[in-house]
Chains A and B, each alone.
Chain A
Amino acid sequence: MSMKIRTSRLLFGVASGLALGGLVSGTALAQDQETTVGAGAGEEDAIVIGGSIPMTGVFAFAGLAFNEGMRDFVSWVNEEHGGVNGRKFRYVGQDTGYDVDESVGVFQRITSREDVDFYFGDSTAFSQTINSELNRRDILMTGASFASELNNPEEYPLQFLLGPDYTEQVGILLDYIADEQPGARVAFVHSDTEFGRDPIAASQERAEELGLEVVETLVTPPGASDISGATLSLRRARPDYTIFHGYVLAPIPDFIERSRQMGMETKFMGTYYSMDQTIIDEMGEAADGFMGVMPYRYYYDQEAPDTEILGAIHDMHDEYKPTMYIQAWLAGVLLREIAQETLDAGKELTGSNMRETLDSMENIDTGGIIGVPVTYRGSSIPVGRIYRADMDEGRMVPVSDWIELE
């Protein structure tokens, strides 16, 4: 027995010793490993897109789509257009596990070796954390976050959003509601996280301005928890519309199901990250009639094959591609436009030059990703469209035209 313990201990000691030794040499080697797509490392004038991409962890469903979208964009733009003015694109993305410290680590790792021109971030917290670093290094960035706070060119001069910020997303929903049913009763349900709290205070005001009545605002604690009490409060408030924010999946389906069991008539709405087809599929039956705001065309949009970008995506892929994949393409398409104009004006591709270009551009053609030509207002594009889940067709169908906020 004691012999056995001794052996296993010895083995463990040897193993951890080896691990410790391996660590140092391993990390040194690890530096040369990454996912690279596009122009070879030798090409001096390549336009480099770096990315902290959450390919694992809770946000992996989005991160994997971002990664694939960015890859496909880079190979498309290099093959079809030869890059911009002969300068090819290159994409370097690494996994963050949706952990802020890790995202910052990835940023440091990539920027310490590459001359990065453009960066794709994975979370609001990362955008906040890396902001001063971006300003110092003069790198333009966009990413996964639609946080209202980032829509602020003074504080975050080198960051822009790939659509309406969360407040604007809810604003678009409220505009739609005010149009459909003036004076409607509205309830908000949000998670007790930075993501969930983001648009609530501003949206409550906005709703009142539009003549809507905010009858209830419910907070659910993060993690698996019981929503019985919250559904009872919701029933008591008798809203015509209930807007969810700060969730991906749970507890939306459960809320909807229980409200139906209680015979409630309210219509449920969501924001961007709970609107992808894969999420709707996961909601199952409960999703029927679920509405929400989406700034992009879906992959299966009827007009998609005729547009430049969605057409190219259709040529590359026969099967459904998530909205986050299209979001990454939008980042690429915007970057191409910005880089083109900046280079045409005879300026270098620094962050601040590119930002100036972005501010000066009007009616940008997104190649069909967004249905109307867009102009940046602040750091966001306050445009979106309302879709409704139609379970007979098994997909999201538009129920409004493209709505642009004032």
Chain B
Amino acid sequence: MEWLFFFEVSLAGLGFGALYALTAVAFVVIYKATRVINLAMGEMLMFGAYLFFGFAAGMALPVWLALVLALLGGALLGLGLERIVIRPLLGENPISVFMVTIGLSSVLVGLVEIIWTATPRSLPDFLPSDPIFIGDAFVAPKTFWSFVIAAVVIGVFLVLFRFWRGGVALRATASDQGAAYAMGINVPAVYSLSWGLAGMLAAGAGILLGSVAGISSEMGVFGLTVLVVVIVGGLDSVLGALVAGLFIGWVESLAGVYLGGEYEHLMTFIILMVVLLLRPWGLFGTREIERL
């Protein structure tokens, strides 16, 4: 019984960890292509969830259409932010760009509260709700399906990243901008592509998160945990994002059950502190050498 319980808690943690992983991938894509640490990621995710809410509940569109529109909206948001705010700061001090993204997060929260008010809402149910059992272990259907969807999306993304022309361009730009440009890759287009992709991934993660935990204008706090995930995994490592996402989800779930809910985020930030002190470039990240 105890082991079964432990197993169930672990599954729940991994299920939620998939959402961390999905958002973390979006984070890493932006970082790889543009070297921006995007603190507005949590708010982009929130915006996507609210778009879905607006289309599905507000305008009463069918769920699949609302989903497509919300994902497109997320992508447009990413494209827009990159073009209007991030591009002009190209080559500036990374700290300025970082602070700009803090400002952006505030703008997005305000925007959502103006359009949809700050009242907390529930997303319309669209995931199947029949109970799922793996062996004897119960998995909440929402957790299960959000895990499956996140896994599929990440899988598709990895394939694109590896084989699609745009994905190759993205990786080429990440490893050497100058060389990529010389080889005829349209580097500014890659910037746009990365933000658009990330916006879409974030919107997807937001919709999944919203259907698991409800939506509110404060749900962007989720982005802070994702920040921890990418630091732990390594800012420029997709693999790191996946592993660390699942790991942090698992640890939080165990901490919440065995220590109490108040310890969940404490554990996360203690892990962050330890990683920053021992291995600041993360588990799978590239260690940068500073030159004068």
Q: Report which A residues bind B (CB closer than 8 A).
A: 56-58, 60-61, 192, 218-221, 223-233, 235-236, 248-251, 253-254, 257-258, 261-263, 282-284
In whole angstroms, how far apart are the Cα atoms of A236 and B5 in the complex?
8
In whole angstroms, how far apart are the Cα atoms of A251 and B216 in the complex?
11
Are B213 and A232 within 8 A (Cβ)? no
Give the size range of B's interface with the partner. Answer: 35 or more
Are B219 and A282 within 8 A (Cβ)? no
With most chain A CB atoms within 10 A of its CB, the pick from B8, B13, B261 is B261
CB of A19, distance to nearest CB on chain B (Å):
16
Indicate whether A253 sits within 8 Å of B261 (C-beta atoms), given known contacts A226-B252, A228-B140, A232-B12.
Answer: no
User: B253: which of A192, A226, A257, A282 is its contact (CB, 8 Å)?
Assistant: A226
Q: Which residues of B (126-153) have their CB < 8 Å from a CB of A?
A: 129, 131, 138, 140-143
Binds A, one of B21-29, B117-125, B235-243: B117-125
Are B209 and A224 within 8 A (Cβ)? yes
In whole angstroms, how far apart are the Cα atoms of A249 and B218 in the complex?
14
Are A233 and B257 within 8 A (Cβ)? yes
Chain A residues with CB below 8 A from B254, complex form: 229
5 additional A-B residue pairs with CB within 8 Å, beyond A218-B261, A221-B265, A262-B138? A192-B262, A224-B214, A226-B12, A226-B249, A249-B214
CB of A353, distance to nearest CB on chain B (Å):
39
Are B216 and A58 within 8 A (Cβ)? yes
CB of B272, distance to nearest CB on chain A (Å):
16
Are A221 and B264 within 8 A (Cβ)? yes
Are B257 and A230 within 8 A (Cβ)? yes
User: B222: which of A224, A228, A249 is its contact (CB, 8 Å)?
Assistant: A224
**B9 contacts the other chain (CB 8 A):** yes
Are A60 and B214 within 8 A (Cβ)? no
Chain B residues with CB below 8 A from A57, complex form: 118
Write 22 A-B pairs (CB below 8 A) sorted by A numbering: A57-B118, A58-B118, A58-B120, A221-B261, A221-B264, A221-B265, A224-B215, A224-B221, A225-B213, A226-B13, A226-B213, A229-B254, A232-B5, A249-B122, A250-B120, A250-B122, A251-B213, A258-B140, A258-B142, A261-B140, A261-B141, A282-B122
Chain A residues with CB below 8 A from B261, complex form: 192, 218-221, 230
**B256 contacts the other chain (CB 8 A):** yes
Are A229 and B256 within 8 A (Cβ)? yes
In whole angstroms, how far apart are the Cα atoms of A227 and B257 in the complex?
10
Are B140 and A231 within 8 A (Cβ)? yes
CB of B16, distance to nearest CB on chain A (Å):
4
Are B129 and A261 within 8 A (Cβ)? yes
Contact pattern, B 248-269, Cβ under 8 Å of A = 1, otherwise 0? 0100111011001110110000
Chain A residues with CB below 8 A from B230, complex form: none
Chain B residues with CB below 8 A from A283, complex form: 122
Are B122 and A284 within 8 A (Cβ)? yes
**B72 contacts the other chain (CB 8 A):** no
CB of B113, distance to nearest CB on chain A (Å):
8
Q: Report which B residues bind A (CB closer than 8 A).
A: 5, 8-9, 12-13, 15-16, 113, 117-122, 129, 131, 138, 140-143, 209-210, 212-219, 221-222, 249, 252-254, 256-257, 260-262, 264-265
With both beta carbons as reference points, the residue of chain B lying nearest to A286 in the complex is identified as: B122
With both beta carbons as reference points, the residue of chain B lying nearest to A190 in the complex is identified as: B261
CB of A219, distance to nearest CB on chain B (Å):
3
CB of A98, distance to nearest CB on chain B (Å):
9
Chain A residues with CB below 8 A from B122, complex form: 249-250, 253, 282-284
CB of B100, distance to nearest CB on chain A (Å):
14
In whole angstroms, how far apart are the Cα atoms of A263 and B140 in the complex?
12
In whole angstroms, how far apart are the Cα atoms of A60 and B215 in the complex?
16
With both beta carbons as reference points, the residue of chain A lying nearest to B19 in the complex is identified as: A226
With both beta carbons as reference points, the residue of chain B lying nearest to A98 in the complex is identified as: B118
Ranked nearest first, the 5 interchain pairs of A and B with the lowest CB-CB distance are: A228-B12, A250-B214, A219-B261, A224-B219, A226-B16
Are B256 and A230 within 8 A (Cβ)? yes
Are B118 and A56 within 8 A (Cβ)? yes
Are B131 and A261 within 8 A (Cβ)? yes
User: A228: which of B143, B209, B214 is its contact (CB, 8 Å)?
Assistant: B143
Chain B residues with CB below 8 A from A263, complex form: 131
Chain A residues with CB below 8 A from B264, complex form: 221, 225
Chain A residues with CB below 8 A from B217, complex form: 58
Indicate whether A248 sits within 8 Å of B120 (C-beta atoms), given known contacts A221-B264, A226-B253, A229-B253.
Answer: yes
Chain A residues with CB below 8 A from B142, complex form: 254, 258
In whole angstroms, how far apart are the Cα atoms of A230 and B143 in the complex?
13
Are B119 and A254 within 8 A (Cβ)? no
Indicate whether A254 sits within 8 Å of B213 (C-beta atoms), given known contacts A56-B118, A60-B119.
Answer: yes
User: B216: which of A192, A219, A250, A258 is its contact (CB, 8 Å)?
Assistant: A250
CB of B259, distance to nearest CB on chain A (Å):
10
In whole angstroms, how far apart are the Cα atoms of A216 and B138 in the complex?
20
With both beta carbons as reference points, the residue of chain B lying nearest to A249 in the complex is identified as: B120
With most chain B CB atoms within 10 A of its CB, the pick from A56, A258, A283 is A258
Chain B residues with CB below 8 A from A235, complex form: 138
CB of B263, distance to nearest CB on chain A (Å):
9
Chain B residues with CB below 8 A from A248, complex form: 120
Are B219 and A232 within 8 A (Cβ)? no
Chain A residues with CB below 8 A from B143, complex form: 226, 228
Chain B residues with CB below 8 A from A221, complex form: 256, 261-262, 264-265
In whole angstroms, how far apart are the Cα atoms of A148 and B221 in the complex?
29
With both beta carbons as reference points, the residue of chain B lying nearest to A261 in the complex is identified as: B131
Are A60 and B118 within 8 A (Cβ)? yes
With both beta carbons as reference points, the residue of chain A lying nearest to B114 in the complex is identified as: A56
Indicate whether A58 sits within 8 Å of B218 (C-beta atoms), given known contacts A225-B213, A229-B12, A249-B120.
Answer: yes
With both beta carbons as reference points, the residue of chain B lying nearest to A8 in the complex is identified as: B88
Are B218 and A223 within 8 A (Cβ)? yes
Chain B residues with CB below 8 A from A231, complex form: 140
Are B222 and A219 within 8 A (Cβ)? no
CB of A41, distance to nearest CB on chain B (Å):
32
With most chain B CB atoms within 10 A of its CB, the pick from A225, A230, A231 is A225
Chain B residues with CB below 8 A from A249, complex form: 120-122, 214
With most chain B CB atoms within 10 A of its CB, the pick from A56, A220, A250 is A250
CB of B160, distance to nearest CB on chain A (Å):
28
With both beta carbons as reference points, the residue of chain A lying nearest to B11 in the complex is identified as: A228
Are B8 and A251 within 8 A (Cβ)? no
CB of B200, distance to nearest CB on chain A (Å):
20
In whole angstroms, how far apart are the Cα atoms of A268 and B217 in the complex?
26
Chain B residues with CB below 8 A from A226, complex form: 12-13, 15-16, 143, 212-213, 249, 252-253, 256
